[in-house]
Amino acid sequence: MFKLFKKKETEAEEPKAAAEERPVEEEHDPFPKAKPAKWKCMTCGYIYDPEVGDPDSGIAPGTRFEDIPDDWVCPTCKVGKDSFKKLDF
Ligand SMILES: [Zn+2]
């Protein structure tokens, strides 16, 4: 009995990861600045605290507001980052 084997050509091409973001290495600052600023949502008053982050949205504690992905939205009212205002101390 003869069997015909159909050879399937496997694609050697690897799927390219779409612009994978590398973790930003923290720069060494000889003059430690004050704590990263908190940001307030101007729509609902939610305050983003970098020390807390937004674990529900995958933002780890210690993430500066500036380092949050641009598609992040307010966990309370879902507005974008543009609706946040930096809180100065
Ligand atoms: Zn909000």
Residue 6 Cα to ligand 1 midpoint, Å, equals 58
Helix/strand/coil for 34: coil
Quote the pLDDT of residue 27: 62
Q: What's the whole-model pTM score? A: 0.61
Q: In angstroms, what CA-CA distances link 47 with 53, 67, 70?
A: 10, 16, 17
Residue 21 Cα to ligand 1 midpoint, Å, equals 26
Residue 20 Cα to ligand 1 midpoint, Å, equals 28
Rounded mean pLDDT of 63-86?
A: 97
More confident residue, 19 or 67: 67
